Amino acid sequence: MNPLSNFFYPKSICIPGASTKEKSIGYELLKTIKVYGYTGKVFPVNPKADEILGYKCYHSIEEIGESIDLAIVVVPKQFAEQTIDLLLAKNVKSIILITAGFKEIGKEGEELEKRIVEKVKSSGARLVGPNCMGVINTLESVKLNATFVAERPETGAIGFLSQSGALGAAVLNSLRETDIKFAHFISVGNKADVNENNILLYWQNDDNIKTITCYLESFVNGKEFILPFIKREIKKPSIVLKAGRSESGMKAASSHTGALSSNDKIIDALLKQFGIIRADNLNELFNTAKGFENFPIPQGNRIAVITNAGGPAILCVDRIEKEGLKLAELADETKRKLREIVHPEGSVSNPIDLLPGGNAEVYKKVNEIVVADDNVDAVISIFVEPVMVAPFEVIEGVYSINSKKPILQVAMPLPEFWNKYRNESQKKIPLFRNPEDPVEILSNMFFYLKTTNKLEINRNEYFEMINRKAVVKKNFSAGFLPQDEVNKICLEYNIPLVKQAFIKPDELKFYKPETFPLVIKGINKSVIHKSELDAVKLNVNSKEELLLRGKEIENSFEKNGFKIDEFLIQPQISIKNELLIGGFRDRSFGPVIMFGSGGKYVEVFEDTSLRSCFLCDDDIEEMINETKIGKILKGVRGELPVDFKRLREIIKSCAVMMLENQEIQEFDLNPLIVSKDNDFYAVDVRIKTN
C-alpha cells in the first residue's frame, strides 16, 4: 500500500506522547480523535499512564502487539529521534511528527531533522512534519480528526493542504462561519519529507477528492510541482494561496531579464500557464473550491446578473469587466418573456432589475428564463432583503432550478437568516455574501476550463519540450560567453544575429568598413549596461568618425575604471521597435523565458511577460498579447504588422536553447530590433553560463 494512504485512511493509530494533562497537545489531540468518532484502533503511549480518555494506554511502543498504520508523535523534541527509531523498528511506514523545534529554530534543529529524515527514508517510510498540526479525514468510514483543534468539520470533497499549522487552525476554527466542507486536511509543517508535490499527486488519484486547495509559503521544488500538470497527471481543479508576494527572488541579477523577474512574478506566470488557480486570499481560495464542488463549470464568459438592488449589481458588473468576463447580451425573445413578469419600472436588460418587490416566484421564473438563453453561460442572482420579501423562499426557489449552467446566488439578508438557511435548506448549496464573490469564482472556473483545454490540445507539443535534451554537451566556460561562442549558439538556434565585426582597440585604425552608417560599441565582460558608460555610438558615417567615436568610448571606459576588450561594429539598422527576449534558470521552477519591450528603458517600462520554457505556440501567442508592445506589433496608426510567425519561432528557439543547454544560466536579446522593413535583428546578445 502507498504509505501516503495511511495518513488519511489508517485502521490503527499510535500516539507516542499522549498525555493525561488537559490542555496539553498530547491530551487535546487524543481528545479530538475520540470526540470526532475515529473508526479505527487507537494506541496511546505514555510510560506513566494506564488509561487516557477511556483508551488503554501502553507504557512503550514495544508493548503494542498489533500492527500500526499511522504514528502521530507529540513527544518533546529531545525524545523525537529515539521515538521514531522505535516506530521504524516496529515497521511503521507513516509517521506524523507534530513536535516543533527543528530546522525552523536553527542549525542544531536542522541537523536533528536531517538525521530523522534519513532514517525514515532508508526504512521506506514517510514523514509528515515536523512542526505541523496533524491530519483530518471527514469521511464516515474513517472520521479522523488528528489535530488539536476541537472543531467538527463537515464532509465535503475538498482536499486542503496547509504549510502553516496556525493558518490551518484558523480555517478550522471558522468552519461554522464559512461553511467550508472538506474530505481531507493535512498540515505539512517543515516539509522535511512529505510535501505538496506528493500530496497533490496522491489526491489526484483519490476519488473522494474533487478539488485540491493549498496554502503555501514556499515550493519545495517548483519544477516538480508544475510537471504533473503539464503531463496531465494532475487534472483536478487546483487552487493555490501562495504567501510572500513581496519576496524578491533574484537579488543580484546580472541581466535585464533577471532584474525584471521577481520570484512572485515567476509563480504567477507559471501557475497561470499550466491551469493552476492562484487565489489572493482565503476567501477566494475556498469560495472557488465551493464553486467547483457545487456548480457546473461555465462553458463561456457571458454572465447575466439578476438583482433587486442597483448598488450591489453595479459592484458585480464592475468586477465582471475587471475579471475579463462579459455581460451577456440577452436575446430579444428572452427580453419579451421577462417583460411579462418584471415590474414595468424594472429593467429587462442585463443586469435585470426586479426592484425590491421581486418575490420568490418572480426570482425563480426570471432565473429560469435567463439561464435558458443561449447567449448566457452563467447567472449571478443577487437578493438584498427588503421589508416585504423574506429571503429564505427566494434562495430556495432559485436553487431548486435544474440547469446545466451555473446559477450562483448572493444573499444580503438580516443576520438571523443564516442559521435558518444552514438548518432548513433542502440542498444547502453555498451562498455568497459579496456581489463580487461569484464573479471571482466564475472567472476562476472558466480559466480552469480554458487552460485545461489548451493543455490537452497541445499535449504533444508540451511533451516534445519536456523531452528536449542536449545532443552534444558543450564545454562552456563559466560567466558571460565570449562573442564567438555566442555567435555559434545564435547560428545553431536560428537567432537572427545582425552582421557584426569584433575589432581589438589597436586594430581599429586598420578596419575597413563595407558600408555606412555604422554602430560602434565598447565591450567589456563586466559592463552590462553599455549605454550607462556612453559606450554605444550610433550613425557613424565615415572612417574618421569611427576612430573618433572609438576614442570617446575608450576615454569613458577609463574614466569608470574599465578597459575595452574589443569594439563591436554593426551596420546601423533603421529601428521601428525594440524588443526583449530573455531567459534564466530559476532555482526552483527551472528554465523561464521572457518577452517584452526592449532597449535601454526596459526596467522602467516593465512591459514584459513570462512563461516556463516548457511551452507551446499558444503560450507564446498569449505571452506576446499580454504586453503593450505586442499590441503595437500588430500594427497601429496604419503600420504593417510584423511577421508573428517568425517572432514565435525566435521565442521558441530561445526556449529550446535553454532546455538543451543546462549550463546556460541566463541570456538576453536586448534589443531584438524590428526594422522599418519589418525584419528582425538581434543586435546585442549576452549569454551567461554557470
Q: Are residues 200 and 304 in the same domain?
A: no
Predicted confidence at residue 82, as pLDDT, reads 97
Picking from 527, 543, 571, the residue at the C-terminal end of a domain is: 571
Cβ(562)–Cβ(527) under 8 Å? yes
Domain presence at residue 329: yes
Q: Are residues 62 and 156 in the same domain?
A: yes
Q: Determine which of 16-25, 55-64, 400-409, 507-516 has the lowest per-residue pLDDT on average.
A: 507-516
pLDDT digits (tens, 9 = 90+) for 66-79: 999 999 999 999 99
Count up the domains in the chain and report the number. Answer: 3
pLDDT band at 686 (very low <50, low <70, confident <90, very high): very high
pLDDT at 99 over 50: yes
- The three-state secondary structure class of 265 is helix
pLDDT at 56 over 80: yes
Maximum CA extent, the chain:
99
pLDDT band at 177 (very low <50, low <70, confident <90, very high): confident
Q: Are residues 420 and 542 in the same domain?
A: no
Average pLDDT over residues 629-641: 90
pLDDT at 257 over 70: no
Predicted confidence at residue 530, as pLDDT, reads 73
- Measured CA to CA, the distance from residue 153 to residue 155 in angstroms comes to 7
Of 127, 121, 63, which is closest to residue 95 (Cα–Cα)?
127
pLDDT digits (tens, 9 = 90+) for 316-325: 999 999 999 9
pLDDT band at 150 (very low <50, low <70, confident <90, very high): confident
Predicted confidence at residue 270, as pLDDT, reads 97
Cβ(113)–Cβ(102) under 8 Å? yes
Instruction: For residue 60, give the DSSP letter.
Output: S
Domain presence at residue 110: yes
Query: What are residue 37's phi and psi, to 5 degrees?
Result: 95, 40
Cβ(546)–Cβ(540) under 8 Å? yes
- Measured CA to CA, the distance from residue 291 to residue 205 in angstroms comes to 21
Predicted confidence at residue 246, as pLDDT, reads 61
pLDDT at 657 over 70: yes
Domain presence at residue 311: yes
Tell me the residue range of the domain where 423 lies.
296-428
Q: Are residues 166 and 52 in the same domain?
A: yes
Average pLDDT over residues 658-679: 94
The answer to whether the Cα torsion of 326, 329, 335, 339 is positive or negative is positive
pLDDT digits (tens, 9 = 90+) for 643-656: 999 999 999 999 99
- Measured CA to CA, the distance from residue 450 to residue 277 in angstroms comes to 12
Tell me which amino acid residue 569 is: I
Q: Are residues 21 and 169 in the same domain?
A: yes
The answer to whether the Cα torsion of 206, 207, 212, 214 is positive or negative is negative
Q: Are residues 424 and 505 in the same domain?
A: no
Picking from 157, 192, 209, the residue at the C-terminal end of a domain is: 209
The residues pairing with 612 across neighbouring beta strands, listed in sequence order, are: 592
Q: Determine which of 78-82, 291-295, 633-637 has the lowest per-residue pLDDT on average.
A: 633-637
Q: Are residues 29 and 126 in the same domain?
A: yes
Mean pLDDT of the chain, nearest integer: 93
- % of the chain surpassing 70 pLDDT: 97
pLDDT digits (tens, 9 = 90+) for 575-605: 999 999 999 999 999 999 999 999 888 888 8
Q: Are residues 52 and 140 in the same domain?
A: yes
The residues pairing with 687 across neighbouring beta strands, listed in sequence order, are: 667
Average pLDDT over residues 426-445: 97
Domain presence at residue 282: no
pLDDT at 247 over 60: no
CA dihedral 530, 534, 539, 541 (to 10 degrees): -110
Q: Are residues 107 and 15 in the same domain?
A: yes
CA distances from 296 to 291, 367, 404, 635 (A): 8, 16, 6, 40
Domain presence at residue 248: no
**Grid cell in block for residue 681:** 535583428
CATH code (residue 309): 3.40.50.261
Predicted confidence at residue 622, as pLDDT, reads 97
pLDDT digits (tens, 9 = 90+) for 181-205: 999 999 999 999 999 999 999 999 9
- Measured CA to CA, the distance from residue 444 to residue 211 in angstroms comes to 13
- Measured CA to CA, the distance from residue 630 to residue 622 in angstroms comes to 10
Q: Are residues 424 and 507 in the same domain?
A: no
Q: Are residues 205 and 302 in the same domain?
A: no
pLDDT band at 472 (very low <50, low <70, confident <90, very high): low
CA distances from 211 to 203, 235, 334, 606 (A): 9, 10, 35, 35
Domain presence at residue 488: no
pLDDT digits (tens, 9 = 90+) for 109-148: 899 999 999 999 999 999 999 999 999 999 999 999 999 8
pLDDT digits (tens, 9 = 90+) for 376-419: 999 999 999 999 999 999 999 999 999 999 999 999 999 999 99
Q: Are residues 179 and 32 in the same domain?
A: yes
Picking from 549, 571, 593, the residue at the C-terminal end of a domain is: 571
Average pLDDT over residues 455-468: 96
Domain presence at residue 204: yes
Domain presence at residue 32: yes
- The three-state secondary structure class of 501 is strand
- % of the chain surpassing 90 pLDDT: 83
pLDDT at 258 over 60: no
CATH code (residue 143): 3.40.50.720
